[in-house]
Amino acid sequence: MTILQVENLSKDFGGLRVLENITFSLAAGSVVGLIGPNGAGKSTLVNLIAGADRPTGGEILFASRRLAGLPAWRVARLGLARTFQITRVFTDLSLGDNIRLAAWTRGLRGKGLEAEVRRLADLTELSDKIAKPSRDLTLADQKRLQLARALALKPKLLLLDEVMAGLNPSELDRAIQLLAKLRNEGITMLVIEHLMRVIMNISDRVLVLHQGSLIADGPPAEVVASSQVQEAYLGRRYVQNR
Amino acid sequence: MKNKSLIIAVLALLCAFLLPLLTNDYIVQVATEIAMYAALAAGWNLIGGITGYPSFGNVAFFGLGAMLAGAFSVNWHWPYWLAGIVAVLLTGVLGFILGLPILRLKGHYFSIATLALAEATLAIVTNLQFLGGGKGTSLPLIGSPLLFYYIMLAIACLSALITYLIVHSQYGNTLLAIKSDESAAQAVGINTVLAKSTAFALSAFLGSMVGVVYAIWQSYIDPPTVFEPGITVLMLVMTMIGGAGTVAGPIIGALIIGIMTQLAMAVSQNASSLILGLAIIVVVLFLPQGILGSHRSGKGGKRPGKHSFSWRG
Ligand SMILES: Nc1ncnc2c1ncn2[C@@H]1O[C@H](COP(=O)(O)OP(=O)(O)OP(=O)(O)O)[C@@H](O)[C@H]1O
Ligand SMILES: [Mg+2]
């Protein structure tokens, strides 16, 4: 079953074409990696799907529902959650209140609300910092908080824009385990990540974006082996990194 | 901490209540103005302090409350209480409707738009025959300073109560989230347009209520007085000095500015605005977060932080 269908999606910024005729779909329950060099248009694609920005052309269908024109908050309430590459936490609220607000917006109240906040803080290993003002969190913790806050929406589809950047190797392992756990809960994920080790580890499928176009779409091993992808992306520093 | 705040609030209220027994008419007059500005500043704080949208046009709601209530009671011979209630409700609804487009703007653009809104409202009011066509409105004189002191005090308390309830609710957290990061607020499913416009409507509601009482207290009002831009500036300055986003901040700010104004006038009638202006600059320089903002500990939750008042573009 397809949960997300993107058809001929394009985006211009001024005269600049940043995304060109992007077409792909996500099967419900799958984990799909989205890779591509800096400036390829990955974050722009996430913004379009999440309703934070309007496409210049094309269609987005989420659970067979057209998303075009819906404001971001409606898209979120349909069960499509996202994180931001440059962390955006509610700095005037404590860590717990960040999560609580999202769960409350979803409709949880009273004991159920508190239990959910605790569960998500545990899941993201933030329990001991629940009362901390979120402005005082480290970058890694802000990334975790963004994930917890997105999960508080009980999403069917999660768009993760470099949630693991800046984590150390052991944190990275735990993050990978966490994503595996989320997949077991049936959450579909589109994961943007520069670290090939992560992408190879968690993805059922990999999409490669290069200068605004999708240049590859397939199983991780196949995509990595593709000469076009090697040239566009992997041939440079990333292959050496990992 | 919570108990301490409650004790201070009860003591302050007791003092305010007993004040007329212990002092003279002059002090009661000054205290009435302070209570009035405390309520206005609290209304400003809802949109400017908590939601992070610094309005420069809130005087429009004060002026509309005064002029509408005056017009209903003079033209249609409504009892003043009815005229007042209708004026306040109308202004609140207007605040909501105007908020929908204006709150799409951010930072300086929002401030300029609200400034223009207040000027436009003055121009419209001045040209409407129903609202006096630019001439003043005379209302029956109710010569009871004490009555107005207690009414203004009650409105100030109501404003503080509304602020308290908001700040301690998820709706308040919604507004704080909007202040922190509006895109992120939308990303967790918050209808930011609705939340902001509701805050603006509440701000308009309180401003209008003060205007309604002001009109009958003064018994004569004219548009230039009740739409004076300086009134908005005072709301803003008082909130900032006391602590934007806090419950007690606007009250403390109104007290400080109110008392400083009287002291400055005692020193020199002519130079009083100059003295007051300098005093404000000194306070803002040394307490940029406001008095309550400066010595809060990092307890989390609703403390007003470094960015309790921000100019985001
Ligand atoms: N709001 C904007 N206005 C103009 N140009 C933009 C805007 N946002 C992104 N761009 C441009 O669009 C292109 C794609 O940017 P995007 O952030 O989507 O890339 P990315 O693949 O996420 O890169 P990175 O790996 O660095 O995060 C870049 O050239 C960027 O400069
Ligand atoms: Mg990006």
Taking an 8 Å cut-off on Cβ atoms, the answer to whether B298 and A92 are in contact is no
Q: Are residues A140 and A164 in the same domain?
A: no
**What residues does the ion ligand 2 have nearby, CB within 5 Å?**
A 42-43, 85
Q: Which of B38, B24, B47, B243 is nearest to B145 (CA)?
A: B24
Residues A162, A221 within the same domain: yes
DSSP A163: T
Residue A87 lies inside a defined structural domain of this protein: no
Do residue A173 and residue A219 come from a single domain? Answer: yes
- Residue A49 and residue A24 in one domain: yes
What is the residue with the minimal CA distance to atom 14 of ligand 1? A41
In a domain, A85, yes or no: no
Domain boundary among A122, A154, A186: A154
> In this structure, what is the dihedral angle of CA atoms A59, A63, A67, A71, given to the nearest 10 degrees?
-160
Domain hosting residue A103, numbered range: 92-154
pLDDT in tens, A160-217: 999 988 888 888 999 999 999 999 999 999 999 988 888 998 999 999 999 999 999 9
For B174, the closest chain A residue by CA position comes to: A101
Q: Are B66 and B182 in contact (CB under 8 A)?
A: no
C-beta of A18 in contact with ligand 1 (< 6 A): yes
Q: Is A58's C-beta closer than 6 angstroms to any atom of ligand 1?
A: no
Closest of B308, B50, B307 to residue B171, by C-alpha = B50
**Closest C-alpha among A179, A100, A170 to residue A134:** A100
The nearest alpha carbon in chain A to B298 belongs to: A133
The domains of chain B are located at: 25-228
The verdict on residue A163 lying in a domain is yes
Q: How many domains does chain A have?
A: 2
Do residues A142 and A171 share a domain?
no
Return the H-helix or E-strand segment holding A225.
helix A220-225
Both tokens of A115, joined, read 């239990």
pTM of the model: 0.92
Assess whether A159 and A230 both reside in one domain: yes
Are A46 and A159 within one domain? yes
Is the Cβ pair A72, B303 closer than 8 Å? no
Own/partner contacts of B261-265, CB < 8 Å, gap of 24 or more, are B262/B30
Per-residue pLDDT for chain B (313 aa), expressed as one digit of tens each? 678 888 999 999 999 999 998 889 999 999 999 999 999 999 999 999 999 999 999 999 999 999 999 999 999 999 999 999 999 999 999 999 999 999 999 989 999 999 999 999 999 999 999 998 888 999 999 989 999 999 999 999 999 999 999 999 999 999 999 999 999 999 999 999 999 999 999 999 999 999 999 999 999 999 999 999 999 999 999 999 999 999 999 999 999 999 989 988 888 888 778 877 887 788 778 877 888 874 443 333 344 443 334 333 3
Residues A120 and A215 in one domain: no
A84 inside domain: no
Pairing of strands A213-218, A205-210: antiparallel
Residues of chain A contacting residue B245, judged by C-beta atoms under 8 Å apart: 92
Same domain, A149 and A159: no
- What span, in angstroms and rounded, lies between the C-alpha atoms of B304 and B313? 20
Q: Please check whether residues A71 and A125 belong to one and the same domain.
A: no
Asked whether A41 lines ligand 1 (CB < 6 A), one says yes
Domain membership flag for residue A142: yes
Same domain for A124 and A160, yes or no, is no
Give the pLDDT of residue A235. 54
Q: A186 and A70, same structural domain?
A: yes
